[in-house]
Every structure is written in structure tokens, then in C-alpha cells.
């Protein structure tokens, strides 16, 4: 891979900078159900979660076809419809349930070791951006604030706010525009081969595949948003820790 002059670094969020405890999705679903029950809905828990998961997969498959982001409110509305409730996705009871669901992520997200120190060092020399596939923008920003990540980034882009999700080109184009550098002057670091690596490559950025979570067998939650894909081409740089990233950056010219 041709390592051009790097002036900016973009990051994915989950399993790149942070991870979540293994049962986070289970706890999120429990909080979702509790909120809906408090709003007066009645259903069998397991049947609702199954229906909610199927709805999520259906909407996410549509997103993968056209790149347009979906949102949890549509999944909840569809699952409730299966139980005889004709509730619009913009109903305030669904809005409360969405916040309850994501409160679990706020409680159980964890920084990967050395992340804050690494970002502080990089910020001294590079423009910094974050681009994350996350359906609910307010929750993503709350996570960044709670973990102390927000101050390190000049640009924060969340798919739920953009309306499109990686690997669609629009999020990467916005990242390039907002960072204010040429697209081939950006390293984009992520763990997921399809949205992060293929998406960055197709948009003209220089991707870096991070495999820390995979290599260290770090515990993390999996769920409906996870999708296996093949490893990137061997020409794509791979890092297994933050020292690897600094070594990679030493191979390219530093910005003036």
C-alpha cells in the first residue's frame, strides 16, 4: 500500500476505541421491555424480543442495500405491531423506550487500554475525526462524553445523524470535507472489514485494520449489528495495539 503524507486520522468507535460488556445487549433489551411495560404495553417477553430482532434485521438489510441508516424506533414499532399495537415510530412512548435501551450502553461501555493517552498524543500532530455506525446519535455522543473521548476530535460523525451508514461513500466524504484535508491524507482506523476497510478504500482514504479486540480475545457483546466478513487484502496495514499505529505513522511523513 502506498502510504502518502498523513495529515489526519479517522476512527471507528466500537471495538476500535471502546468495547461493551458481554451482556450489554441483554441488559438493553431488559430495559427496553421495562420501559414499554411502564408505558402500558403487554406482551410475552421472549416473543417480543424475537420479533424486535427480526424487525431489526429486516431494516438493517434494507440499510445494507441502499446505505440509508435505520433507527431503533422503527424496529420497536414493528415488534409492537406484531402484538396488536398500532403505534407510530415517532410516538413518545417509543422514544422513552429507545432512551431506556441505550442507557445500558452508557453504563457498560469501556475504553480499550491506552486509548486516551494515544489520542492525546496523536492530537498534537494530526487532525482527528470519529465516524461511527450508530443508529441513535444522542446516545453515541453521550458515550463519547462519559468516557472522555469527545475533546480529542475535531470532527464527530454518527450515521444516525448523517442518514447514511458505512460502507456508503457519503459518511466518508463528509469526514474528508470536515477534516479539511485530501482524502488520501487520512488514515481511517476500524475493526470491521466491510464498513470500515472496504468503505474507506472505496472512498479513497487509507484504511488501517485494527484487530486488538480479536487478537486479545477481549470480551465484547455481539448482536444484530454484528456481521462477519472476510479479512481485508494483505496490502491494508494491520495493527494489533497502539504501538503498532505509532510505528506505522513513523513510516510516513509527518504533517508540517
pLDDT tens-digit profile of 141-198?
Answer: 999 999 999 999 999 999 999 999 999 999 999 999 999 999 999 999 999 999 999 9
**CA 53, 93, 133 angle in degrees (round to 5)?**
45
How far, in Å, are 135, 175, 219 from residue 178 at the CA level? 21, 5, 33
Are residues 112 and 213 in contact, defined by beta-carbon separation less than 8 angstroms? yes
**Backbone torsions φ then ψ of 169, nearest 5 degrees:** -70, -25
Per-residue model confidence (pLDDT) at position 224: 45
Q: Which residues of the chain have pLDDT under 70?
A: 1-4, 219-229, 253-256
User: What's the CA gap between 133 and 143, in Å, rounded?
Assistant: 14
Cα dihedral value 145, 228, 197, 222, nearest 10: 10
H or E segment to which residue 25 belongs: helix 24-38
**Backbone torsions φ then ψ of 3, nearest 5 degrees:** -90, 100
Closest CA to 242 of 122, 158, 149: 122
Closest CA to 17 of 137, 124, 148, 123: 148
Total-model pTM: 0.92
The domain segmentation of the chain, as residue ranges, is 8-20+110-249, 24-107
Q: Are strands 18-20 and 8-11 parallel, antiparallel or unpaired?
A: unpaired
DSSP conformation letters of 43-72: --HHHHHHHHHHHHHHHHHHHHHH-B---H
Going along the chain, which residue ranges are E strands? Answer: 8-11, 18-20, 109-111, 127-132, 155-158, 186-190, 206-210, 238-239
Helix ranges restricted to H, 109-211: 115-123, 137-146, 159-162, 169-179, 199-202
Give domain 8-20+110-249's CATH superfamily.
HAD superfamily/HAD-like (3.40.50.1000)
Amino acid at each position: 500500500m502506498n502510504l502518502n503524507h498523513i495529515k489526519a486520522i479517522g476512527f471507528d468507535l466500537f471495538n476500535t476505541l471502546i468495547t461493551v460488556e458481554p451482556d450489554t445487549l441483554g441488559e438493553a433489551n431488559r430495559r427496553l421491555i421495562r420501559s414499554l411495560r411502564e408505558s402500558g404495553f403487554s406482551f410475552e417477553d421472549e416473543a417480543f424480543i424475537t420479533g424486535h430482532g427480526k424487525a431489526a434485521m429486516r431494516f438493517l438489510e434494507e440499510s445494507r442495500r441502499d446505505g440509508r441508516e435505520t433507527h431503533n424506533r422503527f424496529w420497536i414499532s414493528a415488534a409492537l405491531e406484531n402484538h396488536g399495537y398500532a403505534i407510530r415510530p415517532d410516538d413518545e412512548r417509543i422514544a422513552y423506550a429507545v432512551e431506556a435501551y441505550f442507557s445500558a450502553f452508557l453504563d457498560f461501555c469501556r475504553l480499550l487500554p491506552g486509548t486516551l493517552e494515544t489520542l492525546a498524543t496523536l492530537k498534537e500532530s494530526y487532525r482527528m475525526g470519529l465516524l461511527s455506525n450508530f443508529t441513535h446519535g444522542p446516545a453515541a455522543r453521550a458515550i463519547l462524553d462519559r468516557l472522555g473521548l469527545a475533546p480529542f476530535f475535531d470532527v464527530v460523525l454518527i450515521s444516525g445523524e448523517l442518514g447514511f451508514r458505512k460502507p456508503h461513500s457519503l459518511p466518508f466524504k463528509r469526514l474528508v470535507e470536515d477534516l479539511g484535508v485530501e482524502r488520501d491524507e487520512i488514515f481511517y482506523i476500524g475493526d470491521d472489514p466491510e464498513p470500515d476497510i472496504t468503505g474507506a478504500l472505496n472512498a479513497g482514504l487509507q484504511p488501517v485494520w485494527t484487530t486488538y479486540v480479536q487478537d486479545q480475545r477481549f470480551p465484547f457483546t455481539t448482536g444484530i449489528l454484528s456481521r462477519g466478513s472476510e479479512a481485508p487484502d494483505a496490502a491494508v496495514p494491520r495493527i494489533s495495539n497502539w504501538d503498532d499505529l505509532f510505528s506505522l505513522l513513523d513510516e510516513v511523513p509527518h504533517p508540517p
